[in-house]
A and B are shown apart, each in its own frame.
Chain A
Amino acid sequence: MNFSKFLSRAATGTILPLLLLGAWHYAASRPGTLVPTVSDVCRIILQPAAKPESIDTPCLGFSALVSLTRVGLGYLLAVTLAVPLGLLIGRNAAARAAVSPLVTMLRVVCPIAWLPLAILLLGVGNLAETIWGIPAAYRHKLLFEIQPAMVFIICWGAFFPILLATASSAHAVRKSLLENAWLLGAGSWSLFRHVVLPHSLPSIVSGMRIGLGISWMVIVAAELYPGTRSGLGYTIWVSQDTVQYQYTFAAVFYIMAIGLIINGLLWFLEKRLGHWQAEVV
């Protein structure tokens, strides 16, 4: 693709967002509307320290950090659990038979539906209070905002896409490749290390990308839950409650921007690891 073609394609892609922006501008300019103006929202977006006027509500930047930390912890936990388990059930028929009915049952339920259960099991407390008995003076403010229940459902949301992608690709390794490596002298560890793992890696990252998308949606929904005190979802809720819609819009923009960045990074990684999948034979 040459450069001018790229430009014209990029220009085509901006038509719809610009139309949307125009519609928003029109809606905001009508008299008596609560819709914030485009420039108001832009101003807030560019000031991460801006905070809605409400008691004890953190600024946008901190809320974004809190949401990211919750997602980060839950997501890492999900990857750590789902990848090895996925590889196991992909390669081992007995493990697959044992695990897949349960997985099928659990994964059809929206992750948010597990939040009450998670709170029941793990409490509403945060990491600083419930897990680490560190004296208050030495704790970082961030730790107070990380609830195990939230981390749990993030993990839950990301777990299944990663598990399924890993398991199905580990299951689909070409038999002739395994046989050949075996004939060349590979033992079971070498078969795993040199055949199954490299074959599955692009799909694992692809599952991780889908899982992260879900985590990012789940966290915003979970932060709307009563009892939360921070996070982008919380900002959306508070700013609506106190009729400061410019913050609602700004928070949505943050969610979008962070989501796009993370997705882009993983997409890049996926393409890099999976370049050989261009194979057509």
Chain B
Amino acid sequence: MPNEPDLAITFHEVAKSFTNRDGQKCQALKNFTVSAESGRVTCLLGPTGCGKTTALRILAGLEKCDSGYFSVNATRNADRSPALAYVSQQHTLLPWLRLEDNVAFPLRLRGVSKKERRRAAGAFLDKVGLAGKERLFPHECSGGMRQRAMLARLLATGAGLWLLDEPFANLDEKTRFVLEDTLLALIRENNISALFVTHGIEEAVYLADRIVIMSPSPGHVVANVEVPLPRQRDRLSSEFSALMETIRENLDSAILAG
């Protein structure tokens, strides 16, 4: 199929509901169909509670979908695919390990020698601007440094497909801008396909090649918007603002309709 783009991720009519403690059913995703092309950044954009995290968790193999299917690099319903690395909404650095050991943790699980791990972790930390911070513990780091370390650990997994769940949501704007650029540079250098979850319109327009707009209760896709802006985007340009406006209207009408 020469015309079809190479798909890293697809969801096909996925439904997922949760039953909470009181026995109430909550439909997190319904009729959820999404695809993300290889080598591109796809943003899942939607208000809180629309099922963004749930979608990523299904991909990662942490939740099972009730119906429909998903695929990772053309493998259907892959369970814990090694092609995939996941950054969850809260930081998951192991608090008792120094940054270098945290970054090298995926290597440790693969039995890489200590010397080699040290060297690799140093190089990865360097890449995300944490040179010289190898010996710090997570609680000694700022929020921004922790997110940087999470990116370094992503590099260490060697996975080509990154799932990122609002990784910069708790950072100040300036730090976020810097980290967004760091992330884009890493993605370009390593030819990564990324599925980036956010509720920030501006963040989505800055990062994404394509934006998938979601609406809650139950979570489903309302629109796919291509972002044709060239890289090294200017947040202050009129094209940027115009696109943000389009997406805002899409989101608003979806919420009104829903």
The answer on a CB contact under 8 Å between A179 and B110 is: no
**From A180, which residue of chain B is reached at the shortest CB distance?**
B92
| A15 on the B face (CB < 8 A) | no
User: Which chain B residues in 50-100 approach chain A with CB under 8 Å?
Assistant: 60-62, 80, 82, 84-86, 88, 90-92, 94-97
Partner of A176, one of B88, B96, B138, B157: B88
The distance from the CB of B135 to the nearest CB of chain A, in whole angstroms, is 13
CA distance A281 to B86 in the complex (A): 20
**Known contacts A177-B94, A198-B94, A199-B96; A276 and B109 CB within 8 A of each other:** no
Q: How far is the CA of A181 from the CA of B153 in the complex (A)?
A: 12
Contact A278 B139 (CB under 8 A): yes
Q: How far is B220's CA from A198's CA once the two chains are assembled, in angstroms? A: 40
**Is B157 within 8 A of A184, CB to CB?**
yes
**Interface size grouping (class) on chain A:** 20 to 34
A185 to B82, CA, bound (A): 8
Q: How many Cβ-Cβ contacts under 8 Å join chain A to chain B? A: 58
Among B90, B94, B157, max chain A CB count under 10 A is at B94
Q: Is A98's beta carbon under 8 Å from chain B?
A: no
Q: Which of A190, A198, A199 contacts B109 (CB 8 A)?
A: A190
Chain B min CB distance to A128 (Å)? 44
With A185-B110, A280-B139 already in contact, the answer to whether A179 and B95 are too (CB < 8 A) is no
> In the complex, A183→B138 CA distance in Å?
20
Q: What are the residues of chain A within 8 A of B60 when measuring CB–CB?
A: 183
Tell which of B137, B139, B143 has the most Cβ of chain A within 10 Å: B139
Find chain A residues with CB under 8 A from B109 CB.
181, 184-186, 190, 194
Chain B CB within 8 A of A241 CB? no
A181 to B91, CA, bound (A): 12
Contact between chains at A176 and B94 (CB < 8 Å): no
Once the chains bind, are A176 and B92 in contact (CB under 8 Å)? yes
Query: Does the CB pair A183–B86 fall under 8 Å?
Result: yes
Tell me the smallest distance from the CB of A196 to a CB of chain B, in Å.
11
Cβ–Cβ < 8 Å partners of B82 in chain A: 185
1/0 per residue, CB under 8 A from B, across A34-78: the answer is 000000000000000000000000000000000000000000000
The answer to whether A281 and B91 have CB atoms under 8 Å apart is yes
B108 to chain A, nearest CB (A): 8
Does A195 lie at the interface of the complex (its beta carbon under 8 Å from any beta carbon of B)?
Answer: yes
Q: B106 near A: Cβ within 8 Å?
A: yes
Residues of A within 8 A of B61 (CB): 183
Q: A277 an interface residue at 8 Å Cβ cutoff?
A: yes
Chain A CB within 8 A of B105 CB: yes
Q: Are A182 and B80 in contact (CB under 8 A)?
A: yes
Taking CB atoms and an 8 Å cut-off, the chain A residues in 6-42 that contact chain B are none
Docked-complex contact A279 and B86, CB < 8 angstroms: no
The interface residues of chain B lying within 8 Å CB-to-CB of A279 are 95, 138-139
Contacts A176-B88, A179-B62, A276-B139 given; indicate if A184 touches B106 (C-beta within 8 A): yes
Q: Which residues of A contact B (CB under 8 A)?
A: 176-177, 179-186, 190, 194-195, 198-199, 275-281
26 inter-chain pairs at a CB distance below 8 angstroms, sorted by A residue, are A176-B88, A176-B90, A177-B94, A179-B88, A179-B92, A180-B88, A181-B94, A181-B105, A182-B80, A183-B60, A183-B61, A183-B62, A183-B80, A183-B86, A185-B80, A185-B106, A185-B109, A190-B109, A194-B94, A194-B108, A199-B96, A276-B137, A276-B138, A279-B95, A279-B139, A281-B143
